Amino acid sequence: MNGLGGLNKAPAGVVIGLVQLQLPVTVTKDDLARQTARVVELVGKARRNNAGMDLVVFPEYALHGLSMDTNPEIMCDLDGPEVAAFKEACARHRIWGCFSIMERNPGGNPYNSGIVIDDTGTLKLYYRKLHPWVPVEPWEPGDIGIPVIDGPKGCKLALIICHDGMFPEMARECAYKGAEIMIRTAGYTAPIRQSWRFTNQSNAFCNLMVTANVCMSGSDGTFDSMGEGMIVNFDGEIIAHGTSGRPDEIITAEVRPDLVREARINWGVENNIYQFGHRGYVAVKGGAQDCPYSYMTDLAAGRYRLPWEADVVHTDGTACGFAAPTRLYGESATASDAQQAAE
């Protein structure tokens, strides 16, 4: 069920386009400006590609590439020229868009942020990646949770980024807050291909939720991103898949949030998002609604600790060339620097 890539659009359908964007190299402000212009060009291509497309999605690192460069000169701001260009493009082409920025953070390392802009050019969703891909990524851990918004056609829409999707709790949180479509943007390279595929499917099926997932594509001379645009239906079936990895190809499909809502209400067997909080409702009225999971209660209490915790080798980014941090989560860089100077 994808309406021939959205060419035959149902009245209740939402057509999604996933851009397998060519992996860029961004070192200077001029590079950043050129790449912003390229993304804007592809918003126009998406609209020309499919007149019924409702949402075009660009991958993580669409502006900055995979260098992990935290140079302040090429960091972005929500009120900066890059986001302004995206807003103008969405309004001009009357299409919703999902974009990636590395966001300046005066209080610490930059954030790896994602935004969704509607077809009038209004910022509707703003998310900071909760789980940077450690030990490789230097980004500040996100601190604003996972927002869920009213997206195109009134669908409930959420966004997570790359490594976030390897934690089943992330997709579950999106669904728990009502998301019917979960976007997952990424910059993953080929070694993650199989993990990418089955987590995109499990995230969908375990939560009766459509997942729309896309990576960068092509080479920057060092890294090779894999493309792998995937749109997965709420039953776990892949309904569109960019297996060629062709840079700048747009993978499209129509999805049906109305059928997501129908399944969540009417399914008995495998209605896992409901049954998780109503264990054994055949035996006991309403099911058991306790929390039998020690990892959840320990995490909430600030005492999360694995049985093998003391033996874990990688607990900072030194293996990837980053200095070991001294600042605690929630502590500003200014306060931490002052303390180090005093010592």
Q: Which domains does the chain have, with CATH numbers?
A: 3-268 (3.60.110.10), 309-342 (no CATH)
> Strands, E, within the chain: which ranges?
14-20, 55-57, 96-103, 111-117, 123-128, 148-150, 156-161, 181-186, 210-215, 217-219, 224-226, 230-232, 238-241, 249-255
Looking at residue 159, its pLDDT comes to 98
- Spatial CA neighbour of 60 closest among 103, 17, 116, 113: 113
Q: pLDDT for 195-212, tens place per residue?
A: 999 999 999 999 999 999
- Spatial CA neighbour of 229 closest among 19, 31, 23: 19
The parts of the chain modelled with pLDDT lower than 50 are 338-343
Looking at residue 144, its pLDDT comes to 97
Does residue 20 contact residue 60 with C-beta atoms inside 8 Å?
no
Looking at residue 340, its pLDDT comes to 45
Mean pLDDT computed over every residue of the chain: 95
Cis peptide, bond prior to residue 147, ω within 30 of zero: no
Q: Which residues are catalytic?
A: 60, 129, 162
Structure tokens at 63: 């502006």
